Amino acid sequence: MNTDKNILYFISLLLAFFLFSGCSALSESLASQTEVPTLENQANRVAIGMTIVRENNIMAFKMPISADAKWPGMVASDINDTTKEFIDKALMRDPYFATKRYTSYIQRRMIGSNQSMNSLGRYANLTAVLLDQSISPLTYRAFYKIIIFYGKKSQNWPDIFNYNNSLSDFLDFKDGNFIDIESPQSDVYQNISEALISLAPINFQKELKESREDMFDAFMEVASNRSKIGRIKESLKSNKDENNIYLSSSKRDELNNELEFLKIKTKNLEEVADNKQEVYFTLLDRASKELQNSMELDDKNYIRLAKNINIVAHEIYSGSSEAYTSFALAMENMITNNIIQNFPNELKSLALGKAYVPYRLQSKYNERIKRVVKNSIYLLPNVFIGTYYASKQLAIAKKYEDFTDIVIEAYDVHNKEQNTQGSI
C-alpha cells in the first residue's frame, strides 16, 4: 500500500510541477491531459487559440504605435495574482465555467480520463481529478490581453467561446467594445507594419508597402479555402450537414469531390502566398542591410520606436506559438481519445448532468449545451484557419523582431563607442 501511495505522490508531484511552471504552452499541454476528454473542452481550447490569433491581429493591425506608446509594455508584462483572481470571477459568469464543477464527476465517470493518463496506471484517474484545472494557463494569458484591449467590464468583452459561422473577417472578434488605451504624443503610426516600414530607408518604403499588401491578400484567400475544407471534413465525419441533417449517399459523394478540388486549389494558393511572403521578407532583408549603413542612431525617437516594435513582435511571436499549441493539443486529444465518435456519449453525459446543476444556473446550462452543439460544427474550420494564421504570424513576427534587433544592436554598439570615446 505504501508503494501505491508513493507512486500516486510521484505522479501528482511531477504533473503539478509542469502544470504550475512558468511556461504557458508546456503547462497547457499537461493541463489538457488531466481534463475529461470531451469535444467541449477541445472546442474551448480552439476558441482560446483563435482568441490569441485575433489578439495578435489587434496588436499587428489595430493598435496605433509610437515611440512613447505604453501598450507594448502592458501586453508583454506578466499576469499578477490580482488579475488572475479578477479573471476567475469574470469567467464564472460564462455558461461553461459557471456549471462545470456540477457536471465534472458524471462526465468523468461516463467518459473517463485522457488516454495518456490512463496509461500511467491505477491511480492515474485520481491524479487527473486532483490536478484538473478550471481555467487553463493559456486562458489566463488570452483574457489578460482582453482586459487590456476591452477594459475591465466583462459585458464589453467579445464572446470568445461562442463560435461564429461567418467565413468573412475571421481575424476579428465579432463583438465587444474596444477601448482607447492611450494618446501618445510623438509620431503615431497606424500599426507596427507601418511603423516598421518607416524605419526602412525611404527608397524601400513604397515597394515594401505594396509587397506586404499582396502577401496579406494571399493569406486571406488561403485561410478562406482552409475554412471551407474544415467545414466539409466536419460534415463528412459527423455525417451531417450544417443544418444537422444526415447526409445522403449522393451528398457525401458531392462533398468528397468538392473536398478534393479544394485541397488542390488550396495547395496552389499556399504556394502563391509563400512566394509573396518570400518576396516581402527578401525586401526586408535588403532594407535592413542598407539600413545598417545609413541609420540615424542619434535619433532617440527612432530607436524608441524600434524597441516598441520589437516588444510587440516578440509578444506576437510568443502568442502565435501558444495558439499553435492550442490547436495541436485539441487535434491530438480528439484523435487519441476518439472524441468525435464519442460525442453522442458526451451529449448524454450533459443531459444527465443537468439534474446536478442548481436551478439558478439552469438557463446558463441550457446555453452551454446549445453552444456545445453549435461549436461542434465549426471546430475544424477554426482549427484550419487558426493553424494557418498562427504559422504566418509566427514567421512575420520573427522577421519584424530580427529587423528591429539590427537597429537596437547597432544603437547599443554606437552608444558603447560614444561612451568609450568620451572617456578617453
171 falls within a domain? no
Radius of gyration of the chain from its Cα atoms, rounded to whole angstroms:
24
176 falls within a domain? no
91, 51 in Cβ contact below 8 A?
A: no
More confident residue, 76 or 133: 76
> What is the share, in percent, of the chain residues with pLDDT greater than 90?
51
178 falls within a domain? no
168 falls within a domain? no
398 falls within a domain? yes
**Residues shown for the chain:** 424
More confident residue, 369 or 22: 369
> What is the share, in percent, of the chain residues with pLDDT greater than 70?
82
What are 66-102's pLDDT values in tens digits?
999 999 999 999 999 999 999 999 999 999 999 998 9
179 falls within a domain? no
352 falls within a domain? yes
**Lowest-pLDDT choice from 241-245, 346-350, 388-392:** 241-245
What are 388-424's pLDDT values in tens digits?
999 999 999 999 999 999 888 877 776 666 655 555 5
Query: What SS3 state is found at 104?
Result: helix
Rounded to two decimals, the pTM is 0.85
| Residues 400, 285: Cα–Cα separation, whole Å | 10
Give 240's strand partners: 246
pLDDT (average), residues 194-213: 92
Whole-number Cα distances in Å, 231 to 48, 185, 257, 379, 412: 19, 46, 14, 8, 51
Per-residue DSSP letter, 62: I
If you average pLDDT over every residue of the chain, what do you get? 84
Residue 117 confidence class, pLDDT cut points 50, 70, 90 = low
More confident residue, 122 or 78: 78
Task: Give me the domain span that covers residue 323.
Answer: 2-163+184-423
Which pLDDT belongs to residue 423? 53
How many distinct structural domains can be found in the chain? 1
275 falls within a domain? yes
**Lowest-pLDDT choice from 287-301, 320-334, 401-415:** 287-301
